[in-house]
């Protein structure tokens, strides 16, 4: 796809979890990378076609990148390759381990035809699930309008627990304003259980 092939780095408001310096979004080889300009840590990356860069301000590029990434992840999760429309396989990445409490849990979505792939966090995979959207909406937040990199549950593994690798079972706990939403995912990375907990009174629904 024709379009602008390079742009200057875009400064983000978010800080690097390692050194607390500001992150930058850089564009290289048709991929956006969120990197720390000081320690060079990469927080996330995702492809974005160069045609999406032209005739847009930096703020508009950020908005378009978020929209594009959400839909790409949604298609991959649903088993439709965003590059060729073929089927998609899902598996835990090599660094995910139920035996190591500090290991990153990542899901790799790979097209069975063209080989295109994307690695996501558990939070990114469930970001548009009705239980997640309604949980935040009940707290006055419309996360469909918030860039995914501004949502802690998408960028952090603090609420993720890999219960089992064979068969795969993952638990994700999302916290907001003292309330908790706990999701359980199976080997297909499909949500099989959703629970809300209000710690102040211990009630679940």
Q: Is the pTM of this model over 0.75?
A: yes
Rounded Cα–Cα distance for residues 15 and 151 (Å): 13
Q: How confident is the model at residue 17 (pLDDT cuts 50, 70, 90)?
A: confident
Closest CA to 148 of 37, 36, 41, 73: 73
The Cα-based distances of 163 to 66, 142, 167 in angstroms read 30, 30, 9
Give dist(CA 140, CA 86) in Å, integer: 38
DSSP-based three-state secondary structure for 180 = strand
User: DSSP E strands: which ranges in 16-151?
Assistant: 22-28, 31-36, 42-47, 88-92, 106-111, 117-121
Percent residues over pLDDT 90 in the chain: 80
* Averaged pLDDT, 62-75: 97
- What confidence score (pLDDT) does residue 197 get? 87
Q: Is residue 62's pLDDT more than 70? A: yes
pLDDT at residue number 104 = 86
Residue-wise pLDDT for 33-60, tens only, equals 999 989 988 999 999 999 999 999 999 9
Residue 204 has what pLDDT? Answer: 59
pLDDT, tens digit, 9 for 90 and up, residues 142-169: 999 999 999 999 998 989 999 999 999 9
Per-residue pLDDT band at 2 (split at 50, 70, 90): low
Q: Quote the pLDDT of residue 18.
A: 86
């Amino acid at each position: 796809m024709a379009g602008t092939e390079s742009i200057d780095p875009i400064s983000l408001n978010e800080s690097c979890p390692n050194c607390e310096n500001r992150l930058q979004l850089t564009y290289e080889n048709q991929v956006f990378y969120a990197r720390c300009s000081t320690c060079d840590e990469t927080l996330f990356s995702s492809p974005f076609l160069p045609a999406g860069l032209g005739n847009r301000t930096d703020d508009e590029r950020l908005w378009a990148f978020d929209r594009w990434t959400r839909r790409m992840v949604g298609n991959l999760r649903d088993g439709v390759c965003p590059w060729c429309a073929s089927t998609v396989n899902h598996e835990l990445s090599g660094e995910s381990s139920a035996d190591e409490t500090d290991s990153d849990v990542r899901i790799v979505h790979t097209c069975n035809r063209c080989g295109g792939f994307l690695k996501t966090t558990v939070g990114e995979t469930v970001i548009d699930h009705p239980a997640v959207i309604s949980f935040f909406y009940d707290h006055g937040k419309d996360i469909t309008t918030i860039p995914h990199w501004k949502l802690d549950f998408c960028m952090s593994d603090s609420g993720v627990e890999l219960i089992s690798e064979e068969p795969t079972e993952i638990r994700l706990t999302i916290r907001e304003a003292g309330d908790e939403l706990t999701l359980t995912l199976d080997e297909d990375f499909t949500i099989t259980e959703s629970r809300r907990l209000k710690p102040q009174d211990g009630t679940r629904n």
